[in-house]
Amino acid sequence: MMLPRPPSWTARLVGPALACLLLTGVGAHAQTQQITPDPPSQEAASGAALGIGVDYTASDRNPLLTGLGLRLHWNSARLTLQGQSDVLDTAKIGADTDCQDDTQTDYDADPQTDCFVQIAWASLPGQWPGSLPKRLLTAEFTSALTEGQSTAVNFSASATAVGYGFAATSAIVRAESGGDEEWPMAYARLFSRPSDLDLLRRYRDEVLIRSPSGRDAVEALYAQSGDALAVFLRSPGLLRQARALMDRNRSAVSTVLAGRTAGISDQSGVIAFLNAYADQAPPALQGLVGQVLAELDRAAASGATAFGFKP
């Protein structure tokens, strides 16, 4: 149940403290105030405690700005915020402690998050934060994730220094998976290089689950992990097809991870593999394959990307 929003300290931030900040989204900005989570992704069992460090810098490396108004967003059905530790004291003017309802405002443009807290720093003489990079705080959560689930902790700005925009990377938390003992055997047949597994895990964490469609696909696949493995084990030909496609697209995956656009090599082969896999799969996995194919069709028709690739 959503906590009612209490009389907020933000309503009292008037006069000089806010005069030295400019609301984000007004005009173009040559420089940005940047937030990076530490770690960028992690696993947590249901009921386990986890921490996400919030690290700050500026694109021009200027350590003497007027402050930042920062929102931290999460999904309250999957994570419970226990508090914030080691909050930077320099020029701090306030911090929320309880969930503020973000279902209508959606400041982070992610409908899967429903809560946020706001923390703000304001320095009239322009001395914030004093040095770079700077750890602003550590957000302490308890996981409520179940097998196959993942969730994002996002960041948005309520205010930035004059002349600066805002940029942030989301933190990803995945449910801890016990795994199937037979997956390593499948991996040995699936990948021609030992490094391929790490490459695809990076693609999952840094690209795939940072979009709603990619996150949904990962969750659906993990929820059916045993069935997904069984399809491969009883269909060696599918393993050979997947191995060949990985070899053809290895460099494309690396290109996407480097932040550049890449096309899918042998897209007709990818589609043929997905259809062949669906023919051997139970209904839930058939539905997942259908969603992936529909996303590829949508991207091809619109000229957009699908799961980080240009169809």
Query: Is 309 part of any domain?
Result: no
Look up residue 45 and give its two tokens. Answer: 């069992």
What digits encode the pLDDT tens for the residues 35-69?
A: 999 998 888 999 999 999 999 999 999 999 999 99
Q: What is the pLDDT along the chain (311 residues), one digit of tens a residue?
A: 233 333 344 444 433 444 444 433 334 568 999 999 999 888 899 999 999 999 999 999 999 999 999 999 999 999 999 999 999 999 999 999 899 999 999 999 999 999 999 999 999 999 999 999 999 999 999 999 987 788 999 999 999 999 999 999 899 898 876 555 677 878 888 899 989 999 998 998 889 888 888 888 888 888 888 888 889 888 889 999 999 999 999 999 999 999 999 999 999 999 999 999 999 999 999 999 999 999 999 998 998 999 999 87
What digits encode the pLDDT tens for the residues 223-242?
A: 888 888 889 888 889 999 99
Q: Are residues 99 and 240 in the same domain?
A: no
Domain count, the chain: 2
CATH of the domain at 14: 2.60.40.680
Region for 72 from its dihedrals, namely left if φ exceeds 0, alpha if ψ lies in -120 to 50, beta otherwise: beta
d(CA 267, CA 44): 35
d(CA 34, CA 70): 11
Segments forming the whole domain that contains residue 134 = 9-175
Q: Are residues 187 and 287 in the same domain?
A: yes
Q: Are residues 83 and 164 in the same domain?
A: yes
d(CA 210, CA 257): 12
Task: Scan for tokens 């991996």, then name that residue.
Answer: 187
